[in-house]
Chain A
């Protein structure tokens, strides 16, 4: 089975500090990996995706993530947090054998002024 584990349901950072949201996946076949952001009362918006090309993936709003096969991780980072980054972030995995996307439980990011 494929699965995603997001460590930390809530993360708080100061404005201007590094953002690090953790995601580990489990998949028996090479996966595609995604990070989505969800603002209050909104749907999910794709931040970035890994599809077996470059292991360092750059997304929108200054976010990036690095695929590390040896660690089965796909952590999301941003060098400097902005107040507007406060939202919930979901990591998701797709592997061909299951033909569906599985989402993690989400991490709420709080940015402290």
Chain B
């Protein structure tokens, strides 16, 4: 079974530039999550999709971050414009449903904003 795929693995951009991350969840997983993990901290949920609908985006900085999950499969997370404090690892995860089922994580995208 293929795992959660994310690309790119690493990205370095200058502040005020834009960047996009891509995630392909495990086939058949209805729930998809984007987390932000700043160095030394635990993952923080940015947005959660159930199929192609948003379940929770309360911690997504909507003035600069956006995410979509077209057709309920792949997802992209975009930052425009980026700030220095956006430097972090962006993790995508998926699960069959949310609640107590296991979430499977991708390897993440490490973003450095300079």
List chain A positions with a Cβ less than 8 A from chain B. Answer: 4, 9, 32, 36, 41-46, 49, 51, 90, 92, 94, 96, 99-106
Contacts and interface: CB of A to CB of B under 8 A. Distances in A.
List 9 A-B pairs, minimum CB-CB distance, nearest first: A43-B105, A103-B42, A44-B105, A51-B100, A32-B100, A103-B43, A105-B42, A46-B102, A43-B107
B100 A49 contact: yes
A63 to B, nearest CB: 15
A45 B105 contact: yes
Contacts of B25: none
A92 B37 CA distance: 14
Interface in B29-65: 40-45, 48, 55-56
B67 interface: no
Most buried by A among B4, B43, B44, B93: B43
B71 interface: no
Interface of B: 4, 40-45, 48, 55-56, 91, 93, 98-100, 102-108, 110
A68 to B, nearest CB: 19
Given A42-B107, A43-B4, A43-B91, A101 B102 contact: no
A94 B48 contact: no
Contact of A106 (B42, B44, B55, B104): B42
A49 B100 CA distance: 8
Given A44-B93, A103-B43, 18 more contacts: A4-B42, A32-B100, A36-B105, A41-B108, A43-B93, A43-B106, A43-B107, A43-B108, A44-B91, A45-B105, A90-B43, A94-B100, A99-B55, A99-B98, A100-B48, A100-B56, A100-B98, A105-B40
29 contacts: A4-B42, A32-B99, A32-B100, A41-B107, A41-B110, A42-B107, A43-B93, A43-B105, A43-B106, A44-B91, A44-B93, A45-B105, A46-B102, A46-B103, A46-B104, A49-B102, A90-B42, A92-B42, A99-B55, A99-B98, A99-B99, A100-B45, A100-B48, A100-B56, A103-B42, A103-B43, A103-B44, A105-B41, A106-B40
